[in-house]
């Protein structure tokens, strides 16, 4: 355990308060801050102070030091495209009333802005609302500016950009007509009660993306159950692609889209009474992996292009298929019937943080050089781990952490795809290959210190995705 043992009580309190599993570098930095802040109090006295009303400012400061505020407009456009076609469009058609949407852990509000645009585009009732909440009041103040850099706007499809954003100095801001449908509220997902949907009856949609990945397994499970209880019948919970559920609460059904999973509370079922008391055992990440050690190279039935990752590339090009763009590709446009039940995705990626000092970013950041640095560090850890035989679950966790810092890290996505594929999680693997391809084709993927250049990587991703999709079609 890093850091001084004397602070362990305070750390445990912060973990319980935020739900977050602290990484070793986080602990180290937290301890430094604690030494500076406690000013002569013993750790126990300082803990008492933090628990008291007088300690609120210190508590906020410590929490701000722990949380990761990375977010983006139209983050994960592949998932959003699936959300639009499979969830939102049918929901708008079904519910002829204003929709109530909640973005839990919204950071600086880009997800709220994205949801407002999606609702408007889907023709939702103009009385529809989006609530954004976060544990950090500081990021919410930033969210209320509704102001985005040009770089952030690059992710927004051009026609939506001109329709919903207006130039304001060096920045662009969201149109006032959309802004007034949103509200922000400071809320800790570990605290009760949870926000009420306007008019009661639960939220139609809850987004809680890239929040639970930092939580302990127990906090993850409890939060999912509480979020499920906050849904209206027929409502949908959207987690990030990095946060598939191993144990789906009984109140939810998995709706398996082509490249995304959604969790739906069936119509006409009573919500569980006391979801908060349940700390389901064993939600934790560790699905038994076929064998220890992410060798990068698949262990069984090696896909033909996998070896390009680790050895001299030997496969030639195949035509790269077009990546999914937003708005929806024709292939994804056919709305599935929400509520369709499918087997749950196999593995949860629990947050047990890796060597990730970026967990201590107090300031909201789009993808900053710091975030890139973190992503590259984590990626390097994975490559080192692959050489020394760390378990697949650790590689998977580090790759997902890396991608939470740089979602367009195409090499990391491709490696994640390979790892998932060798764990026989073909649908998830296809999604990752497609996402990598999309980042590459949109020119968002940075060249990273790696032995595949972007062109070759694009071909490898296209190859892999096509191979998996065609074997799925044959089945």
Ligand X SMILES: C[S@@+](CC[C@H](N)C(=O)[O-])C[C@H]1O[C@@H](n2cnc3c(N)ncnc32)[C@H](O)[C@@H]1O
How far apart are the C-alpha atoms of 35 and 273, rounded to whole Å? Answer: 43
Indicate which single residue of 106, 248, 383, 457 sits in contact with ligand X (rule: CB under 6 A): 106
Number of residues that make up the chain: 475
Inter-CA distances, 268 with 149, 195, 420, Å: 44, 22, 35
Classify 28 as helix, strand or coil.
helix
Q: Which of residues 213-242 bind ligand X (CB under 6 A)?
A: 240
Closer Cβ to ligand X, 72 or 376, answer by number = 72
Indicate which single residue of 10, 115, 131, 211 sits in contact with ligand X (rule: CB under 6 A): 211
Indicate which single residue of 135, 248, 347, 436 sits in contact with ligand X (rule: CB under 6 A): 135
Give the count of residues interacting with ligand X (CB under 6 A): 25
Closer Cβ to ligand X, 137 or 272, answer by number = 137
Classify 363 as helix, strand or coil.
coil
How far apart are the C-alpha atoms of 6 and 425, rounded to whole Å? Answer: 43
18 lies in the binding site for ligand X (CB under 6 A): yes
> Among 420, 447, 438, 391, which Cα is nearest to 306's?
420
How far apart are the C-alpha atoms of 277 and 336, rounded to whole Å? Answer: 34
Candidates 86-94, 150-158, 183-191, 245-253; binding stretch for ligand X (CB under 6 A): 183-191
71 lies in the binding site for ligand X (CB under 6 A): yes
209 lies in the binding site for ligand X (CB under 6 A): yes
367 lies in the binding site for ligand X (CB under 6 A): no
255 lies in the binding site for ligand X (CB under 6 A): no
69 lies in the binding site for ligand X (CB under 6 A): yes
Indicate which single residue of 38, 79, 129, 210 sits in contact with ligand X (rule: CB under 6 A): 210
Closer Cβ to ligand X, 71 or 259, answer by number = 71
Inter-CA distances, 287 with 282, 348, 384, Å: 10, 8, 22
Q: Give the nearest distance from C-beta 404 to ligand X in angstroms.
A: 6
How far apart are the C-alpha atoms of 173 and 254, rounded to whole Å? Answer: 36
DSSP conformation letters of 160-171: HHHHHEEEETTE
Q: Give the nearest distance from C-beta 360 to ligand X in angstroms.
A: 12
365 lies in the binding site for ligand X (CB under 6 A): no
How far apart are the C-alpha atoms of 327 and 305, rounded to whole Å? Answer: 30
105 lies in the binding site for ligand X (CB under 6 A): yes
Candidates 185-193, 258-266, 275-283, 295-303; binding stretch for ligand X (CB under 6 A): 185-193
Burial of residue 176 (number of CB atoms within 10 Å: 0-12, 13-18, 19+): exposed
How far apart are the C-alpha atoms of 152 and 67, rounded to whole Å? Answer: 21
* Binding positions for ligand X, rule: CB under 6 A: 18-20, 67-72, 75, 105-107, 111, 134-136, 139, 188-190, 209-211, 240
């Amino acid at each position: 355990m890093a850091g001084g043992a004397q602070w362990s009580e305070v750390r445990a309190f912060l973990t319980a308060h935020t739900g977050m599993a602290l990484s070793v570098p986080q602990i180290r930095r937290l301890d430094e801050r604690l030494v500076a802040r406690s000013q002569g109090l013993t750790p126990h006295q300082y803990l008492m102070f933090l628990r008291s009303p007088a300690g609120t400012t210190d508590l906020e400061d410590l929490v701000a030091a722990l949380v990761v505020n990375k977010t983006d407009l139209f983050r994960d456009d592949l998932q959003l495209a699936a959300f639009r076609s499979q969830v939102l469009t049918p929901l708008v058609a079904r519910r002829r009333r204003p929709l109530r949407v909640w973005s839990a852990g919204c950071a600086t509000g880009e997800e709220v802005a994205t949801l407002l645009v999606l609702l408007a585009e889907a023709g939702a009732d103009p009385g529809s609302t989006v609530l954004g909440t976060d544990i950090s009041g500081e990021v919410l103040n930033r969210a209320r500016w509704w102001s985005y850099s040009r770089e952030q706007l690059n992710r927004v499809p051009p026609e939506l950009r001109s329709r919903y954003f207006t130039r304001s100095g060096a920045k662009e801001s969201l149109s006032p007509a959309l802004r007034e449908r949103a509200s922000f509220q400071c809320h800790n997902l570990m605290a009760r009660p949870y926000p009420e949907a306007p008019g009661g009856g639960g939220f139609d949609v809850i987004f809680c993306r890239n929040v639970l990945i930092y939580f302990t397994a127990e906090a993850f499970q409890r939060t999912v159950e509480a979020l499920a209880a906050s849904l209206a019948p027929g409502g949908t919970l959207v987690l990030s692609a990095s946060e598939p559920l191993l144990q789906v609460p009984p109140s939810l059904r998995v709706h398996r889209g082509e490249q995304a999973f959604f969790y739906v509370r069936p119509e006409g079922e009573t919500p569980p009474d006391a979801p908060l008391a349940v700390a389901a055992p064993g939600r934790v990440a560790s699905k038994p992996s076929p064998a220890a050690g992410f060798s990068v190279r698949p262990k069984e039935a090696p896909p033909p292009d996998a070896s390009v990752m680790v050895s001299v590339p030997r496969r030639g090009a195949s035509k790269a298929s077009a990546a999914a763009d937003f708005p929806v590709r024709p292939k994804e446009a056919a709305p599935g019937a929400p509520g369709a039940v499918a087997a749950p995705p196999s593995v949860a990626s629990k947050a047990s943080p890796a060597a990730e000092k970026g967990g201590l970013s107090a300031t909201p950041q789009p993808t900053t050089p710091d975030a890139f640095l973190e992503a590259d560090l984590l990626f390097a850890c994975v490559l080192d781990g692959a050489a020394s035989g760390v378990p697949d679950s650790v590689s998977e966790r580090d790759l997902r952490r890396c991608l939470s810092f740089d979602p367009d890290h195409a090499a990391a996505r491709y490696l994640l795809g390979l790892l998932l594929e060798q764990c026989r999680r073909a649908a998830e693997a296809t999604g990752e290959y497609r996402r990598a391809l999309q980042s590459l084709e949109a020119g968002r993927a940075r060249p990273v210190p790696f032995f595949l250049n972007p062109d070759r990587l694009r071909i490898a991703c296209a190859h892999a995705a096509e191979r998996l999709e065609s074997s799925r079609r044959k089945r």
